[in-house]
Structures are given as C-alpha cells and as structure tokens.
Amino acid sequence: FPTVTHTFHPENLPETLKTIDPRLLIEFSEEYPNKPPTVRFVSRMFHPNVYADGSICLDILQNRWSPTYDVSSILTSIQSLLDEPNPNSPANSQAAQLYQENKREYEKRVTAIVEQSWVDV
C-alpha cells in the first residue's frame, strides 16, 4: 500500500521549524479510509504532542478518525499542532513542561534536536 513522505513548506511552519525541514512518513493500510494511516515524523522531534518514535498524539489519527478525512485534512491538523502545541495532552511531558515554562528554551531545543537528527542520518 502507498507510503507518502511529506516535507512542510517553510512559509507554513512556525518560526522555530522554518530552517530545519521536519519530514513526515504517512503509511496507508488496506483498511484505509476506514482506519487512519500511520503517520510519524522521520526527523526527530521535540514537541509536546510527538512521541519518541515520531508518532503524533492527534485525536483525528486515533479515536476521532473519520473516513471523510483525507491527506490534506491530516496535514492541516498536523500543521495546526506544530503551530500551537497542546501541552494539556502531552506525548512528551518534558517538551510540554518546557513549552509552558520557557518558550525560548523550548524553541532552541526543538531546533537543535531536529537539526541533529539530519546529521545522524
């Protein structure tokens, strides 16, 4: 079944991510569109709503999935989550705490981790 790799356009990213090129992998099973695709970041991410394995804590990819959602709606939802993290439903509690307590330091950490993930490839 199809696999899609997506790179966000810099003009659509929050300032923190504009220079670091985060990439997504979207994998569709034979059950799509009745079941959501598997979506995860290929680049390492330090984000309140991204797990260590790159998977994303996003309701439309889990309990609120609908067969009416398409790739565009998934990407739009992820874009929104990148713009405005939800620290109240964290996949990464350390990132959520830093985001709430010190956004400047949070942004530095985001940049450093994603940049390092491309060096490690």
Active site residues: 57
Dihedral of alpha carbons 5, 86, 82, 103, sign: negative
Report phi then psi at 81, rounded to 5: -65, -35
Q: Give the 3-state secondary structure of residue 64.
A: coil
Report the C-alpha gap between 112 and 59 in whole angstroms: 27
Q: How many angstroms separate the CA atoms of 44 and 50, rounded?
A: 9
